[in-house]
Amino acid sequence: MNDKILLQINNIGVVYSDVIQVLKGVSLSVPENRIISLLGSNGAGKSTTLKAISGLLKPENGKVTEGSILYDGTEIHNLPPETITRQGIIQVLEGRQPFKYLTIEENLRVGTATRFGKPYKEDLDLVYAYFPVLVKRRKTLAGYCSGGELQMLVIGRALMAHPKLLLLDEPSLGLAPMVVQEIFRIIRRINEEQETTIVLVEQNANMALQIAHYGYVMENGKIVMEGDAAELRENPDVKEFYLGMGATGIAKSYQDVKAYKRRKRWL
Amino acid sequence: MDFFIQLLVNGISIGFLYGLSAMGFVMIYKASSVLNFAHGELLAIGAFLFLALVTWAELPVAAAFILTLAGTFVFGFIVERLFLRPLIGEPLIEIIMLTVGLAAMFKGALLLIWGGNLYTYPDLLPEFLAWNWGVVQVPPVYVSAIFMGIVFLLLFGLFFKYSSQGIYMRSVADNQPAALSLGVHVRRVFALSWAIAALVAGISGIILGLINGINVHELSSIGLKVFPVVILGGLDSISGAIIGGIIIGLLETMTGGYLSPSLRDVIPYIALVAILLVRPYGLFGLVEIERV
Ligand SMILES: Nc1ncnc2c1ncn2[C@@H]1O[C@H](COP(=O)(O)OP(=O)(O)O)[C@@H](O)[C@H]1O
Ligand SMILES: [Mg+2]
């Protein structure tokens, strides 16, 4: 595997509505063909980081005010999403966001927007090969499908765009553990077989670190920790807060209660 | 009985025109949540453009018709570019007020050129278009209204169901952030919805002009009937708009035929109020899918 950096985020600050500072100096780099995981609790700024990359801050009145984002060596921060998606960066939004009144297949066809006019039949076949459950739901309105089917749908929809860099925002959210495992296996396969570079945002650190190569931990709009996935899995802080295992086993007064509460949020 | 059938046919043909024009209104609403108060003026613009092409330019009917379609389509596109686009992201009420302003401006421009007089198209439609079923006679205009209605509804139905561009348009109406995330050109979809709205309004304008004559005030007030139609059909439902159009068309002709011609133009609004009291979301509004 080469170590070419596909995406480089340098010290960015992000502000919503001109006053709400959410990211404060976030830096991270994403090597080509790898899976990078971005972990952290609710409100840490994970989704904001992804939106800064994909250009989706703009419709929410957010802006990168400091630093830079380099994709393949060129600056892309604050470009409109129509431009960024056409360079091969596709974000799969948190909470699945299907087109409820479109059928599964029509949903997939929206994924061809960046390649309008090109044939897409083979891409449909590819998506159905990764997610066979979608085949028999082809003509069903997405609004009537289950959470697991929808998560597969939105990942498949993104694949229709031939992404070079895929940004996944909490694909495990609200899904049964069996379904999560299946989806994560497929994410790994997509990374290997399609050579798609992936940034995987998760609160489920346990699952994410099983398929990621490298991980970052975010808190309050800052990166507080980073390392190889295997290293992070063994890190005592990560174990305690993110993987739900007490490192020492000794009760530590109120701090421990706090940790317990946090742990409950994680898993 | 013959009288009834006659009214039925007239009502349905007018209803198709209302439905067709309401479809354009609903498209703008679905894509961008904007209520277009200039819709009636779009009808009038189509009718007058066609008038200019057949009388001043003396073009053959078919050529004038196709040019009018192209012209109204481009006009809708330009209106979106010039007036609506700069306001994207501003509060919706400002955009809706802008369409009220556009209505006044378009009407003023038409009045400036043609004044408030009533014009008629020269005899355009060949007699063979007339239908004769014994005592029931359907004049060529009504036949062409039904024909145009069906043809364009089918065309747009196919466009939205099967073409990629149509599916992108529906995706924006359905979930705009998701559409943006996949690179759908949302602004282009807005522009396209205005272009198509101006086009279908223009077609309805031409045929209504054939039926009633062409007058700025008359046509723009017919355009306002889009409100009872879409409220009946559900603001967000394209097929509802067509059914709503046919119902309003029938209601009008039946009232005009059996009760009193002066009640004719009021009845859609009476229906509007009645429906709002009973079904505030319209008869055919989208059923919200809860399970997501
Ligand atoms: N559109 C917005 N306007 C203002 N504040 C926002 C907006 N979106 C997110 N935030 C704030 O930014 C912080 C980080 O949010 P987010 O990036 O969604 O976190 P995460 O994805 O890690 O849960 C939160 O405090 C949230 O309230
Ligand atoms: Mg989030």
Chain B residue whose CA is closest to A107: B171
- For residue range B135-153, what is the model confidence (pLDDT) as tens digits? 778 888 888 888 888 898 8
Whole-number Å distance between alpha carbons of A157 and B249: 42
Q: Are strands A89-92 and A165-169 parallel, antiparallel or unpaired?
A: parallel
Mutate which of A15, A28, A47 for ligand 1 pocket (most atoms within 8 A of beta carbon): A47
User: Which residue has better confidence, B186 or A259?
Assistant: B186
Query: Which of these ranges, A36-40, A119-123, B92-96, B124-128, has the smallest mean pLDDT?
Result: B124-128
Q: Which of A39, A49, A69 is nearest to A216 (CA)?
A: A39
Average pLDDT, chain B: 89
Instruction: Give the ligand 1 atom nearest the CA of A169.
Output: 21
Mean per-residue pLDDT for A155-180?
A: 97
Mark yes or no for CB contact A157/B180 under 8 Å: no
N-term to C-term CA, chain B: 51
Mean per-residue pLDDT for A146-168?
A: 97
Mean per-residue pLDDT for A198-203?
A: 96
Give the DSSP H/E element, type plus range, for residue B136. strand B136-138
Q: Are strands A214-219 and A197-202 parallel, antiparallel or unpaired?
A: unpaired
Would an 8 Å CB–CB cutoff place B179 in contact with chain A?
yes
Chain B residue whose CA is closest to A83: B183
Give domain limits for chain A. Answer: 5-234, 239-267
Are B19 and B230 within 8 A, CB to CB?
no
Are B245 and B19 within 8 A, CB to CB?
yes
- Residues across chain A: 267
Whole-number Å distance between alpha carbons of B192 and B74: 10
- Residues across chain B: 292
Q: Residue A249 pLDDT more than 90?
A: no
User: Which residue has better confidence, B225 or A113?
Assistant: A113
For domain B2-278, is the CATH number 1.10.3470? yes
Cβ burial B244-268 (10 Å sphere, 16+ → b, else e)? bbbbbbbbbbbbbbeeeeeebeebb
The DSSP letter of residue B258 is I
Please name the fold of domain A5-234: Rossmann fold (3.40.50)
- For residue range A61-118, what is the model confidence (pLDDT) as tens digits? 999 999 999 999 999 999 999 999 999 999 999 999 999 999 999 999 999 999 999 9
Mean per-residue pLDDT for A20-31?
A: 96
Separation of CA A203 and ligand 2 centre (Å) = 9
Tokens read off for A16 = 């919503």
Tokens read off for B95 = 């955009």
Q: Choose the closest CB to A93 out of B181, B186, B291.
A: B181
Q: Which of A135, A40, A26, A18 is nearest to A94 (CA)?
A: A40
Chain A residue whose CA is closest to B290: A143
Selected residue of B169, B181, B186, B236 to mutate for chain A interface (largest A Cβ count, 10 A): B181
pLDDT band at B287 (very low <50, low <70, confident <90, very high): low
pLDDT at B262: 86
pLDDT band at A260 (very low <50, low <70, confident <90, very high): very low
Percentage of chain A lying above the pLDDT 70 cut? 89
Mark yes or no for CB contact A85/B183 under 8 Å: yes
Whether pTM exceeds 0.95? no
- For residue range A175-196, what is the model confidence (pLDDT) as tens digits? 999 999 999 999 999 999 999 9
Give domain limits for chain B. Answer: 2-278
- For residue range B89-126, what is the model confidence (pLDDT) as tens digits? 788 899 999 999 999 999 999 999 999 899 988 887 87
